[in-house]
Chain A
């Protein structure tokens, strides 16, 4: 089974703090994604990566950055956390479209971040 592991399930941070959210997948997937999930808004794509050291902005990248130094690891960084970044953050991965069902994502269990 594919396993996507998010290191922190629950975090509480203060406004202005730097926050790191870590994600590791064990299925050698090329593509990795960070979403945030908010009531009434569904899942919104923050950043994604097609390969090591590559990153692409999603729909709501402002206030976030990412790092992909190794294939299995994709980190989301909040340089200076703000209260409007309180949310559930979901990491996902999938192989290139030739290997498996196109578009199918495998999600981690989520990291619930509260910024005070």
Chain B
């Protein structure tokens, strides 16, 4: 079993939809939780960063962490075509970052 599981999609939604991206993990030692966004033919860039259970908001994006269930989510409100990208969850422990497989999102105009 992988330490971090993420549905690879692809996920296709109409513009304006609410998008929910999710990851589960098996190791309770993970300390920090991140979401990276990767546009086509580019490297990943950090989108959201959190270290505790609960919600964190940044504009149209909300990151949610539930440590008791070992589950993290990224919500995108009012999705835009410019949000079309691959979204990778990542978790930190012991000096290393462990990534999920990435979910490919397409937002159609």
Contact = CB atoms under 8 A, between A and B. Distances in A.
B32 A42 contact: no
Most chain B beta-carbon neighbours within 10 Å: one of A102, A103, A107: A103
Contacts, number: 51
Interface of A: 4, 39-43, 45, 48, 58, 90, 92, 101-105, 107-110
Interface of B: 6, 8, 31-32, 34, 41-46, 49, 51, 88, 90, 92, 96-97, 99-102
Contact of B49 (A4, A39, A104): A104
A103 B101 contact: no
A102 B92 contact: yes
Nearest to A96: B95
B99 to A, nearest CB: 4
B60 to A, nearest CB: 21
A30 to B, nearest CB: 11
A42 B101 contact: yes
A104 B8 contact: no
Contacts of A102: 31-32, 51, 92
22 contacts: A4-B43, A40-B101, A41-B101, A42-B100, A43-B102, A48-B96, A58-B96, A90-B43, A101-B32, A101-B49, A102-B92, A103-B32, A103-B34, A103-B90, A103-B92, A104-B34, A104-B49, A107-B43, A107-B45, A109-B42, A110-B41, A110-B43
